[in-house]
């Protein structure tokens, strides 16, 4: 079972560059999320989606964009990368039909902006 797959695992960006973090899930989950985690801290919600074509901002959306053209994919776009965006990014998904609100996380994407 693949679960939630994120690519790339590691990336170094120069200030001002742009890139897309890919996230795919094969569990037919409607809900998907992007979080960032700064060193030694908890996770903060960037964007989320409740289904294809529907996205909404989380706690820290500035500097990011998302799209949800299919149920499976939820890419996160960084425009004009800044050092403050150096972090670990986690994609997650959940089915609203599951009891206990179990959310499944990917393994993370480490991004450094220099």
Binding site for other proteins (CB under 8 A): 4, 31, 33, 35, 40-45, 48, 50, 56, 58-59, 90, 92, 94, 96, 100-103, 105-108
Omega of the bond prior to 31 within 30 degrees of 0, cis?
Answer: no
Shortest distance in whole angstroms from residue 90 CB to other proteins = 5
Q: Which is nearer to other proteins, 79 or 107 (CB)?
A: 107
CA 22 to chain centre: 8
The values of phi and psi at residue 84, to 5°, are -65, -15
Instruction: For residue 53, count other CB atoms closer than 10 A to its CB.
Output: 11
Q: Which is nearer to other proteins, 12 or 50 (CB)?
A: 50
Q: Which is nearer to other proteins, 85 or 93 (CB)?
A: 93
């Amino acid at each position: 079972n693949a679960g939630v797959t994120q690519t790339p695992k590691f990336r170094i960006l120069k200030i001002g560059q742009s890139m897309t973090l890919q996230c795919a899930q094969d569990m037919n989950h409607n809900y998907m999320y992007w979080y960032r985690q700064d060193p030694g801290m908890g996770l903060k919600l960037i964007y989320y989606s409740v289904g294809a074509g529907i996205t909404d901002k989380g706690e820290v959306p500035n500097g990011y964009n998302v799209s949800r053209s299919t149920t499976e994919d939820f890419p996160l776009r960084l425009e004009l990368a800044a050092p403050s965006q150096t972090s670990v990014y986690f994609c997650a998904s959940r089915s609203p039909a599951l009891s206990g609100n179990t959310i499944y996380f990917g393994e993370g994407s480490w991004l450094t902006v220099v």
